[in-house]
Amino acid sequence: MSKRMVTKRSAQNKHGILIVGIGNEYRSDDAIGLHVAQSLKKQAHGYVNVIEKSGDGTAFMECWENAHTVILIDAVYSGTKPGTIHRIDAHAEPIPTNFFHYSTHAFGVAEAIELARSLNQLPGHLIVYGIEGKCFQAGVGLSLEVERAAQEVLTRILHDIHSAARPQPS
């Protein structure tokens, strides 16, 4: 490995890749982001920082300040089949605000991303995984469809991490 590559990789260390699981553990499928984040904590490498958040949008903007690549995971409700995985590259398209309809926050995930875009504060890479929820009632535990989707999302994120961590050709 060339010296230049080593330097590049160490620059990404610690805060290089940030994974943010979002949700409310007491709102059934809304907890999916937290579940995926907890699994990733066990499987991801040391240079990946995995955190959990409740959905207050302004808090995301603070947490990703030093990250180059950010992956957000949250439950969505857009009317598609429960368990459907939506993968959005925030640099390629805006975030549909109606996706996060079930957030109780007046300023939630979609708003934070779009505000960061307005202020030129988006991280270099921002991927949002939205998993279509089935049940958002008070209670603990995921529906079967969402639980199945969690495994698939986990695999895809590990692939994203691998790609993001791979040194770019100089």
Smaller CB separation from another protein, 13 or 58 = 58
Whole-number Å distance between alpha carbons of 166 and 45: 13
Smaller CB separation from another protein, 77 or 149 = 77
Bridge partners of 74, per DSSP, are 130
Smaller CB separation from another protein, 12 or 38 = 38
To another protein, the closest distance from the beta carbon of 68 in angstroms equals 21
To another protein, the closest distance from the beta carbon of 119 in angstroms equals 5
To another protein, the closest distance from the beta carbon of 61 in angstroms equals 7
Q: Where are the beta strands (DSSP E) in 106-159?
A: 125-132
Angle between helices 144-165 and 32-43 (to 10 degrees): 40
C-alpha dist (Å) from residue 25 to 67, 92, 159: 26, 30, 26
Bridge partners of 52, per DSSP, are 21
User: Which residues contact another protein by CB under 8 A?
Assistant: 26, 53-56, 58-59, 61-62, 104-107, 111, 114-115, 117-119, 138
Whole-number Å distance between alpha carbons of 115 and 102: 19
Whole-number Å distance between alpha carbons of 24 and 68: 26
To another protein, the closest distance from the beta carbon of 153 in angstroms equals 23
Smaller CB separation from another protein, 65 or 152 = 65
To another protein, the closest distance from the beta carbon of 93 in angstroms equals 15
Smaller CB separation from another protein, 118 or 168 = 118
